[in-house]
Amino acid sequence: MLRAFSVLVVGCLAASLAWAAQTLSGPAPNFTLPSRDGGQVSLAGLKGNVVMVNFWATWCVPCRQEMPHLEAIYEKYHSLGFELVAVNVENNPDGARKWLEETPVTFTVLFDAKNEVTKLYKVQTMPSTVLVARDGTMRFIHHGYKPGFEAEYQNQVRALLRE
């Protein structure tokens, strides 16, 4: 587990220096995780919506910088069929819960304490963001974040909402 954490920390540092977006294809792997409200959320249950799956951690500075921008995108496009699922990758969700009290968001926050979904999606950089089309296919993946990248997120969300 320490090795996986080290890889993610290095990935977080690298993400602050470089950013890459790639086009994807194929079905998004389904998952079910506990949410901060105590329920369970599955990706399959969101099919029919454009879904952004954002992998993040409180120790990742770019993740924390990105969060208010993700909230703004969610608020703008949610009524049009857009869902945002933020998957916290930390072993203990208590730190994330506390941080979210100081930085409130209205989108769904899930906890991947065992890093099962993180491994399923082969996350190596923090943050990592996958955009899923209404039909459940992966379309874009973003590795890292720098201020201003939210404009590309919005362009891709709008394109997927029009499909």
Residue range 102-136, pLDDT digits in tens:
999 999 999 999 999 999 999 999 999 999 999 99
Average pLDDT, the chain: 89
- Predicted confidence at residue 20, as pLDDT, reads 52
More confident residue, 40 or 18: 40
| Cβ-contact 73, 61 below 8 angstroms | no
Between 22-26, 45-49, 72-76, the lowest mean confidence (pLDDT) is in 22-26
CA proximity to 15, closest of 74, 70, 51, 57: 57
CATH code at 2-162:
3.40.30.10
Position 13 pLDDT exceeds 60: no
Give per-residue burial for 76-111: e unless 16+ CB within 10 Å, then b.
Answer: ebeeeebbbbbbbbbeebeebeebbeeeebebbbbb
What is the arithmetic mean of pLDDT over 133-146? Answer: 95
| Cβ-contact 110, 37 below 8 angstroms | no
Strand, coil or helix: 40 = strand
| Cβ-contact 15, 126 below 8 angstroms | yes
- Predicted confidence at residue 24, as pLDDT, reads 60
Q: What is the per-residue pLDDT across 64-100, written as a single tens digit (0 to 9) for each?
A: 999 999 999 999 999 999 999 999 999 999 999 999 9
